[in-house]
Chain A
Amino acid sequence: MRISVLAFGLMAATALAGQAHADKLDDIIASGTLRCAVVLDFPPMGSRDENNNPIGFDVDYCNDLAKALGVTAEIVETPFPERIPALMSGRVDVGVASTSDTLERAKTVGMTVPYFAFEMAVTANDKSGIKSFEDMKGKTVGATAGTFEAIALEKSVKEWGVGEFRPYQTQADVFLALSQGQIDATVSTSTVAQANVKSGKFAGISVVGKAPYDIDYVALFTNREEYGLINYLNLFINQQVRTGRYAELYEKWVGGEVPSLSVNGVYR
């Protein structure tokens, strides 16, 4: 009698405790919606089509993830500086937003393994006479505030000790300023550079070469303590590569040689 009461109490307690431990992965599945933070002025990763619908690599990636989870995807547009506030205030569940996985940032959010990798390219105004990365020394240069390349370029300008660095809030503003000649050159991911030059929206600019920065590995992110979800996301990224979906999306949005997501000689 006493044992069965105890057993019952124990069962009730575990059931309750189980309830209280629903994590974010459970919450997403229960709610039926996956809310992704995506940057939509960053073609070809994220942008809008003529009908104003979100499109791009990151948009497709979020849809794939939602499909895997068996829920519907909701794309929440977040400019670069607003990705983290959106996550912290609970407006989004996951960031699929080309976020560079720096150690400094990983103190604040939980990063997955890389899901994409960028190379950096220099795009210059044709009138500036800049033909390579080295020619940027002493010129006025700019990049999108808060990005990997902006941080790297500002550091370069400081090391050169001459010239000026200007961070703009959106990628579109950087290319507008570049095309107007307000800045002489910018460093951006090569995918963005090519997409913008090809778009024809910005006259008088060309991609002139590579920037000697590290490969910019970007990760999905969510709240730091959500191990269950991070675990799931890591496996999802692995499966995207394994099943060939990563290569397929790369071909669809970027084209060319698919960048490797692994670093030689080390485990994650």
Chain B
Amino acid sequence: MFHYTFHWNQAFKALPQMLDGALVTLQIALLSMAIGLAVAIALTLFRLSGSRILGGFATAWIEVARNTPALFQIYMAHFGLGNFGIHLSPFTSLLVGIAFNNAGYLAENFRGALKAIPDTQARAGRSLGMTSLQAFRLIVMPQMLRVAFLPVTNQMVWAILMTSLGVTVGMNTDLAGITQELNARSFRTFEFFAIAAVIYYVIAKAVTLAARAFASRMFRY
């Protein structure tokens, strides 16, 4: 029942354009991870601070980020904020949406990692005369990042795949956006989507393998 003849030679003409899109995809994913990591560390500190307001804020962020669809978060960053007169470009909306999502998940990763680090570590730091912030920054955080490293790379892969949701807010320069446009123009859906899928796979796999290689070098005991 599949009445379709593949026109690969036509589709491959668009490959350079799609690879340019893949670069934009990677760029958004990396930026969103950088922002997400910074915010997640802040959220982790808020939760450790003992302050009700800060802790509540962090918990609310994490709950919303982890329990609503990424599509919804990105859509809200564009049309939700737009309703209040805050106009983000498609690029920024997508970045904000994914970074918001990343921060929530990464904060949870950090919480899990902190559990693996005994309290005595922080106390040992304090007994050496460090302030609690110093003890966190110099003793606990490096260990936390080490334990959380592989889960963090999972989130990076997830961030790459989430960029494909940008088409819903008018993004047309990333891999998914370019693929959609090529598809609309020519109706060669299956060729273009197959190529896009391979590119996404290669990027995601490369990130995973690079992270594993990095981890096995850095985290030798």
Contacts and interface: CB of A to CB of B under 8 A. Distances in A.
Interface of A: 80-81, 84-85, 88-90, 102, 104-105, 107-109, 142, 145-147, 150-151, 164-169, 173, 176-177, 180-182, 223-225
Contact of A90 (B1, B78, B168, B190): B1
A182 B87 contact: yes
B181 A88 contact: no
Contact of A145 (B78, B82, B180, B188): B180
A165 B181 CA distance: 12
A145 B168 CA distance: 10
Nearest to B177: A167
How extensive is the interface on chain B, given as a class? Answer: 20 to 34
A55 B4 CA distance: 31
Nearest to A83: B187
Interface string B1-27: 111100100100000000000000000
**Interface centre among B78, B170, B177, B183, by most A CB within 10 Å?**
B170
A102 B185 CA distance: 9
A105 B87 contact: no
A174 to B, nearest CB: 9
B186 A167 contact: no
A181 B184 contact: no
B183 to A, nearest CB: 6
Nearest to B168: A169
Contacts of B185: 102, 104-105, 146, 151
Given A89-B2, A90-B3, A169-B168, 9 more contacts: A90-B1, A105-B186, A107-B186, A109-B187, A167-B177, A167-B180, A176-B82, A180-B85, A182-B78
B150 to A, nearest CB: 35
A81 B2 contact: no
Contacts of B85: 180-181
B184 A150 contact: yes
Given A81-B180, A146-B180, A105 B79 contact: no
B186 A104 contact: yes
B35 to A, nearest CB: 22
Given A146-B180, A166-B170, A107 B7 contact: yes
Contacts of B164: none
B68 interface: no
Query: What are the 8 A-B residue pairs with the smallest beta carbon separation, nearest first?
Result: A146-B184, A166-B170, A108-B187, A180-B82, A90-B1, A84-B187, A223-B3, A105-B187
B215 to A, nearest CB: 38
B87 A81 contact: no
Nearest to A183: B170
Nearest to A222: B3
B7 A88 contact: no
Nearest to B84: A180
B67 interface: no
B172 A180 contact: no
Given A85-B189, A169-B168, A180 B184 contact: no
B90 interface: yes
Interface in B187-211: 187-190
Contacts of B169: 168
B189 A84 contact: yes
Contact of A169 (B2, B83, B167, B190): B167
Nearest to A224: B3
A104 B167 CA distance: 22
B196 to A, nearest CB: 13
A88 B189 contact: yes
Contact of A180 (B7, B87, B181): B87
Given A84-B187, A108-B188, A146-B180, A180 B79 contact: yes
16 contacts: A85-B190, A88-B189, A88-B190, A90-B2, A107-B7, A108-B187, A142-B170, A145-B181, A146-B180, A167-B167, A169-B168, A173-B168, A177-B78, A177-B82, A177-B170, A180-B82
